[in-house]
Structure 1
Amino acid sequence: MFEITGVNVSGALIAVVMATGYENPLTSVHEIEKRLSVILGNSQATGEVLFDLLCSNGPEWNRFVSLEIRCGSILLDTAKIVDEQEIPAQILRHQRDVLRNHPEYVEDSVLTPDDVLCIL
């Protein structure tokens, strides 16, 4: 399960894909590509997609992963871990707000009860 948000920040980042449960959304790459083309209004999108894997990986060093998308296809071999300090503050705020507005996401995740309390 995942949620996709288009991003309006400068640079190559065009969207954020958030895990909304314990399953890693990277197992659904083709579905993500289809939904991105609808959300972005462009089946040939090119740029960077940020994956927020908090619900599937926990608050670990590999929470954020970026992948390139070229001509609408996500390139798995471009995956790189992104440090939270490198994420624009407005994106971090948005991610936090989504989780607070959807407690079911963190409740159906790998997060411990203490982690859930810190988020909500």
Structure 2
Amino acid sequence: MANGWTVAETVTDEAFDIVAKDPLEGEWRTFQCKTIRRRADRGGDLVVYAKRGNGTIYDRADADYIIGVWAEDGEMPRVFYFENRMLGEYWCAEARASERWVELSITLNRAAHEGVA
């Protein structure tokens, strides 16, 4: 919402967590939210495990995008999203996260909300 997206939560049992309207294209997209974890055994790379509780992956009918939320040691959380490519895991080096994934600021962009009653 801080970036101008219109966000809605589902009230029915859906595979996705939220549906949001892209502020630039005006299209509704579905998102599955996951936690980003750091893997010490992978040189500190960041990983998003994008599987259901039963171990199956999300296909494109389940979610258009995956959102990863990374919060470490009381720091301000960082939020990234990327296209659902129907993988069980998405990896990225911390130094390249903002290049490979779209980072969303969680600071309110007041300009995106001007004129909203």
Tell me the TM-score normalized by structure 1.
0.40
More helix by share: 1
Tell me the TM-score normalized by structure 2.
0.41
Which structure: larger Rg?
A: 2
